Structures are given as structure tokens and as C-alpha cells.
Amino acid sequence: MTIDNINRTLRERFSADLPDCYERRIIFWFDSEREFESMLDELDIPHVKILRLTGDNFFEAKMILSETDTVSNYLVYDPLSYKHREDNWLRDIQRYSEEFRADLISMQMDELHMPQTTSLRRAMKHYTKFFESKERTAKLSAFGTKYENAGQLHIDIMAVLCGTKYHTVHGVLRTILCDSLYHEDNECLEQIEKFGSMQVLQEMTAKYTGYTGNAFDLNELAVHIFLTAFSAIGEEKVLSGLEQYISPENQTACYAFIDDWHNSEDSGKLFELAEDISVRMRLTERLAKLETQALLNSDSLPCIDEVIIGRFLQEIGENVIKTDEILNAVESRRSSKWIDHYEHLYNGLYYIAKMQEFYYEHISGFHFGTYKEYWDSYTKELFVMDTYYRRLHGYFRQSLVRDSGLLDDLFKSAVVTAENIYVNWYLAELNSGWCSQIKDCFAGRFALENIPAQADFYPNTVAPVARDSRVFVIISDALRYEVAFELSEKLVRETNGTANMTAVLSEFPSVTKFGMAARLSHEELSLTDDMRILCDGMPTDGTDSRDKILKRSNPHNCAVTYETLLQFKQTQRRELISGADVVYIYHNTIDAVGDKPNTENQVFDACSDAVEELKNLVRLIINSMNGSNIVITADHGFLYTHEPLAESEKVNTSLVCGNIFETGRRYMLAGGQSSSAILMAVPMGRYSENRIGYTPYESVRIQKQGGGRNFVHGGVSLQECCVPVITFKNISKSSKNLWRSRKHGSN
């Protein structure tokens, strides 16, 4: 710093306004290195007296400043160093005076708004090379730390050198460990060695983690931190032989370090390191010695979750399902820090346990005296087994695209056990009993007394609402009852509306063309020779055909597909429905996936997608089309089993004699009689007097080329023919007011 700069700085300091209650200014210029002593005679500061301390004039200086001259401004030059505080006779005066330093470190400290304490000055001297870079200095200043001790400065400088915004001990160590566990490849350590202090880093690491290795070995440091945190499990038989890696007094600090790391954007690297250390130290084998309950009390390393999950999955694969233990364990692990990596496996365990719980609750099977009791029981409670099975396979599919090693294989074995419960017990018992009750109840059509029919949907559900208000009818192809129930719950929970859930009996066969036709307003449905369905003589295949049928009662009524509606702008949507009483919207997410051989295994994923799409479609109708009354239904349901039936378990079409007009995976339409009791006969008199429908009992398929090994429909199982009807009303709008405004020209 040149004499001109010093003169200018001191003049500015002395000419500045005095603090309150001060009548003069005293500034002590500290220069313990005596770098500027020769410049004192060159100072030119108006109205300021200069007092030089020599070490022998303390008494004289104190007399001048305290007694002799109490009005003049003074610059007191102090080049001395004091071994003890009491050696400084002017310390009391310094406490109410100001400081000035002209050395580089002092200027740097001033730039950082850092108090000129001895400990901070000593710390600054470690980092001469660091401050040679304006860029590094600017990054340090950007932290805005109000320094009170040297430790804060050390951490901030290392954070700058490591390139992290987290200027904490955790942030610095985390960044170093994420960089590389090999010293020669670690850029953070390279920067600290060049511009920082490895000694300070080692001291800081030892203080906060307990690691005191002679060489700063990053592999050893990582093992030390993870195993010290792991030692919280507190089991001697697990920790035996690991003592050299563990610092008991730093257990809490190491666990907090991992916890903080887990909550950072570097959590992926944490999991990777934790997995690597678990394998190297063979921790899974050690944990196998512990009871499950002891494992549930710790989540320091992911191997604990792997042991818990693996143990349950292996037992399930051996047909041992500990329902209560699994449910309690899953609930306990919801808050585990590693849950994101294992949630799909825990959820898989949960739904297998719920399936087993359902089995225990109905272990004697399903024995109802009437088909109505089967219907009511299914729509009220038994359908949940289908939901458990669907959700299990949703999480199982997640495991197929994730690499969880041995756990994936164990999950596959566990799913085989769940498949046996669902297919060989639930589907077999439920639909065998249902079919035995309904097989002799058909007269001229597939209809059951006291159960609403799909063909009566329009007059019973749509027409009454349309008389008072516009009604939107969403028909989602293959929206199974249990999936619709999930949708209904979400609508109530996530929208401002009410939802009422009921069910109707589908047409037979429970396939799209029959179900879609039955949903329209009609007097008569008929079947042509080429197997097309007519509604009062009008074709019903395709949206355009159904649009024409709807327009018979009101030329403004309309039918539109979900995809088309999404493409429309808001003005187009409102123009489309202007003047309409009834708007049909056709949605096809589930059936589009399930009916294709190459995608049918994704049908449960499609169910989840459909629920979200339909929920958002309801919002769109409310917000963009002023909809208040919405009915959501389907054309049919479906059967799905993960394991396809063997060909030997399927029914051959040769069991029906005479002309076979159409064959599906779950039905045949023929002009002759069946020669087997395996097939149930269903009269097609509603459509055609000279045709009879046949469907296998239970979940048996009909032999046919092409898809349908897993996903099928067309039969009379409860899953196929129990068609949901959700009546949703948006309670934030008045349907009558909307109707009245529409009648006066509003859309």
C-alpha cells in the first residue's frame, strides 16, 4: 500500500462524522511487522497528531491521551507485539478507539468485513495463495458470512475450493467424498493442497467425525463415517471385528452427517457409497444374525432394508406369509431414509400381506345363497382383492426395470405365491359360486332380476339428469369396477364434488361393441349377419355413428373422443356442446393397451394412467366446459392374470356344434348346441333368436390365435360383467343456474 493511499485512507477516516457522544477520534495503527514505520514522517493528515509507541513511552502516551490532551485527534502508531494482555498499557483506550492496518491481510479482512482479531489474522496467513485470485475472493465474499472465529473462515475457504455452495463441515466433506475416493483423482483435495490447508482439513475432519488416520485416506474416511453411523444398531455380534472403524463418541455426528447428505442433491452418490461399503464389509451377512424387530430400529445403511425385505420375500416364496409382521414392518419403514430405493418392494410386500389377510378373512370361500348376494358382496368389499392384485403387479413391474439384485429374484418367487392365492383361490372360488347361481337364470337375454342392466343406463341414469341440466357421460373402455372405485375416491378427495358409485350388469358378451351400443338411447338392439350391432336400425360402431344416434333426441347432443377433446381450444369445446343436453366422451386407455398382445402385460399401468386421465378430464369439464353433472362408466370390465393359462387349461371351440359366428377369448356366438358342461349357455334373444352365446366358467379361456393370454373380457365373471357407474356432481356450481343461462343463449 503506497504512502498516497495511506494518506488518503487516513484523511477519510479522520474526516468522517464522529460517533454519538464522541468529541474527537483516536485511531491506533497496528503494524507488528514494522512494514510502514519509515513512512510515518511522510504522513500529511490535517488537524491530527501522531503518537509513536516505542515500548518505553507507555506512561507518557497514556498521560497525553487521558490527561494532558483530551481534545486533539490522534493517530497512535503501534508496531509492538504483546505476549500478555497486561503488557499493553493502552488496551483500555484501544477499546473505545478505532483500528487501522495497512498490510495486505488487513485490507483483505476489511473487504470481508472481518474483525481484526488475532485468531482470524493468524488464519488468514494460511491462505496467501488463495487470495491471489480475485475470482476465489469474490466467491468467498459472496457467502456473506459474519466471521466470529477462524473455524468459519477455514470452512468457507474449503467450500470455495471444492466448488460447493454449502459452506458447512457437512457440505465440504460431502463434496470431497462425492468427487472421488481416490486421492490422486480428487480435484477438491488438489485445490485444497494448492490454495488451502490439508492440515486444517484433517483437524476439522477429526473433530467432527473422529477419523484420525495418519494419511488422509478417503476410502478409510468413508468407511469410518458409515460404520460409525451403522454402529447405532448397537448389537455386539454384528459389530464384532469392526471396532477399528468405529468412533463411538462420534456416532451421533456421523449419523447426522449421513442424514444431511441424504437430504441433499447428492443422495444418489450416498446410496452408491453405502451399498459399496455394505458389500465390502459384508454387512448383510452380519445383519442376518439379528431378529427382524432389531433391524426395524435402525436405518443407517440401506443393507438393513435389504435384509428386512429379503427375509420376508424369501418366506413368502416358501408359502409363509406373516401378515401382521409384514404390515407393521412396512409401516415402520415408510420413514426410512432409503425408502425411495425400496418403496416398490415394501409396497409389493404390503399388497401380498393384504391379499393373505383377505384370504384369512374369507378362508372358507364364498358361499352365498343367491346371485344378488354375490353381486352385493363383490361391489361392497370383495372387489378389493382385485385392487390388491393390480397394485402388487404395478410394483412388481417397477422391480423388473430396476436393478435390486437378489431381491428381484426373491420378489418373483413371492409373486408366484400371490398368483396362487389370486387365481387358484379367489378367482376360482368367487366366480365358480357366482356362475353356479346365474347359469339357470337367463330367459331370452343375459339379465338378472334385481340387478340393474347396462341396457337401461340411458333411461335410468342419463335421461333424468338431462331433463334439468346438461349431463356429460364419460365411457372409459374396460374401466373395471375396482379401478373405477379408486377413481371415485380420488374425485371425492381431490375435487370439489360428490361421487356416488353403483354398478350395472353388462351385456353379453362383455365386449366393446355390445357395451357401447347398450349405453345409447334405444328401443331395440339387433345383430346383423356380419356381427355388427344396430341401435333401432342405426349402426353403432364408431364415434360418428353414436353421435348421430344421440342427435335424434336433440340435434345439439354430441359424441366426441377424449383425444379430440384434448386437442380442442376452449372456444371449440364450448361451441361443440352449445345447446346440448347430453355429451358423450369416449375414453380408451385400458382396453387399447390390454387388447394388444405386445402390451397386455402393461394393462395395470394403463389402469393407473386411466384414473389420472379421467380425474383430469372431470376437471377439464368443470373448468373449461362449465360442467356440473358428470357420469363415468364403462362398456365392460376384464380379467387379468399375470401367469397365462396353459393350452391344456383352455376350452376348444369344437365343444360347440353348428355354425360359430364369432369367437373371443371368453365367449363364442354360435347357432348350435354345446356338448360340454364346461360352457355356460347365454340366450342371445335380445339380439338374434337363432344365436346362442357360450362362455367358460371361472377364468378359463377359449383357444384362439393371437393375444389374450393374460388380459381377456367377454365372459360373465364378476370382474368382466360388473360395470361401474360413477355419478359425479360438482358442488361448486349450480346445475340449474347453468341450465337456465344456457337456455338463454350461454354456452
- Give the Cα separation of 17 and 76 in Å (integer): 19
Q: What is the predicted pLDDT for the residue at 291?
A: 92
- Angle between helix 267-280 and helix 169-179 axes, rounded to 10 deg: 70
Lowest-confidence region among 157-166, 205-214, 337-346, 734-743: 734-743
Q: pLDDT class for 745, splitting at 50, 70, 90?
A: very low
Residues 630-657 have a mean pLDDT of: 87
What residue ranges do the domains of the chain occupy?
A: 3-102, 118-290, 302-438, 454-638+713-732
pLDDT tens digit sequence for 169-190: 999 999 999 999 999 999 999 9
Quick check: helix, strand or coil at residue 584?
A: strand
**Grid cell in block for residue 13:** 477516516
- What are the Cα distances from residue 508, in Å, to 37, 70, 693? 108, 111, 8
Pairing status of strand 629-633 against strand 722-730:
antiparallel
Evaluate whether 447 touches 606 at the Cβ level (below 8 Å). no
For the residues of 235-276, what is the DSSP string, one character each?
-HHHHTT-GGG--GGGHHHHHHHHHHHHTSTTHHHHHHHHHH
With 80 as the cut, is the pLDDT of residue 404 above it? no
Residues 254-261 have a mean pLDDT of: 94
Residues 665-687 have a mean pLDDT of: 86
pTM above 0.85, yes or no: no
The partner residues of 722 in beta bridges, in order of sequence, read: 505
Q: What is the predicted pLDDT for the residue at 735?
A: 42
Please report which helix (H) or strand (E) contains residue 394, including its range. helix 384-400
* DSSP assignment letter at 184: G
- Give the Cα separation of 180 and 188 in Å (integer): 9
Residues 403-407 have a mean pLDDT of: 78
pLDDT tens digit sequence for 91-137: 999 999 998 877 677 777 877 888 877 788 888 888 888 888 889 98
Quick check: helix, strand or coil at residue 526?
A: strand
Evaluate whether 475 touches 514 at the Cβ level (below 8 Å). no
Q: What is the predicted pLDDT for the residue at 271?
A: 93
With 70 as the cut, is the pLDDT of residue 75 above it? yes
- 10 Å Cβ neighbour count for 133? 13
- Give the Cα separation of 498 and 518 in Å (integer): 26
- 10 Å Cβ neighbour count for 305? 23
CA nearest to 486, candidates 581, 366, 610, 599: 610
Q: What is the predicted pLDDT for the residue at 512?
A: 97
- What are the Cα distances from residue 369, in Å, to 58, 67, 380? 112, 114, 17
- 10 Å Cβ neighbour count for 93? 17
The CATH number of 3-102 is: 3.40.50
With cell 509513536, the residue in question is 52
Q: Please enumerate in sequence order all residues whose Cβ is within 8 A of that of 586, keeping only pairs 6 or more positions apart, or say none.
A: 475, 477, 516, 543, 546, 559, 560, 561, 562
Residues 519-534 have a mean pLDDT of: 94
* DSSP assignment letter at 703: P
The partner residues of 558 in beta bridges, in order of sequence, read: 583
**More confident site: 505 or 651:** 505
CA nearest to 715, candidates 691, 744, 695: 695
Pairing status of strand 692-696 against strand 668-670:
antiparallel
- Give the Cα separation of 225 and 247 in Å (integer): 9
With cell 476489511, the residue in question is 110
CA nearest to 149, candidates 195, 173, 114: 114
Q: What is the predicted pLDDT for the residue at 507?
A: 96
Q: pLDDT class for 329, splitting at 50, 70, 90?
A: very high
**More confident site: 145 or 562:** 562
Evaluate whether 710 touches 600 at the Cβ level (below 8 Å). yes
- Angle between helix 169-179 and helix 218-230 axes, rounded to 10 deg: 120
Q: pLDDT class for 644, splitting at 50, 70, 90?
A: confident
Phi and psi of 598, rounded to 5°? -85, -5
Lowest-confidence region among 196-200, 453-457, 585-589: 196-200
Quick check: helix, strand or coil at residue 317?
A: helix
Q: What is the predicted pLDDT for the residue at 2?
A: 66
pLDDT tens digit sequence for 570-621: 999 999 999 999 999 999 999 999 989 899 999 999 999 999 999 999 999 9
With 60 as the cut, is the pLDDT of residue 741 above it? no
Rg of the chain over CA atoms, in angstroms?
Answer: 40
Phi and psi of 649, rounded to 5°? -95, 5
- Give the Cα separation of 628 and 114 in Å (integer): 65
Residue 645: exposure state from Cβ atoms within 10 A (0-12, 13-18, ≥19): middle
Quick check: helix, strand or coil at residue 558?
A: strand
With cell 354430441, the residue in question is 558
* DSSP assignment letter at 702: B
- Give the Cα separation of 520 and 518 in Å (integer): 5
* DSSP assignment letter at 164: -
Q: What is the predicted pLDDT for the residue at 738?
A: 43
Quick check: helix, strand or coil at residue 53?
A: coil
- Give the Cα separation of 312 and 330 in Å (integer): 11
Region of 635 (left: φ > 0; alpha: ψ -120 to 50; beta: rest) is: alpha
Residues 147-163 have a mean pLDDT of: 92
Q: Whole-number mean pLDDT of the chain?
A: 91
CA nearest to 418, candidates 394, 401, 382: 394
With 70 as the cut, is the pLDDT of residue 675 above it? no
Lowest-confidence region among 31-35, 417-421, 529-533: 31-35
Lowest-confidence region among 3-7, 154-158, 459-463, 500-504: 3-7
With 90 as the cut, is the pLDDT of residue 363 above it? yes
With 50 as the cut, is the pLDDT of residue 737 above it? no
Map 477-505 to HEC letters.
CCCCHHHHHHHHHHHHHHCCEEEEEEEEE
As a residue count, the chain comes to 747
- 10 Å Cβ neighbour count for 97? 16
Tell me the one-letter amino acid at 118.
T
Residues 489-515 have a mean pLDDT of: 95
The partner residues of 630 in beta bridges, in order of sequence, read: 472, 728
Evaluate whether 582 touches 531 at the Cβ level (below 8 Å). no
**Grid cell in block for residue 673:** 348346441
* Percent over 70 (pLDDT), the chain: 96
With cell 380420488, the residue in question is 490
Q: What is the predicted pLDDT for the residue at 673?
A: 84
Evaluate whether 726 touches 488 at the Cβ level (below 8 Å). yes
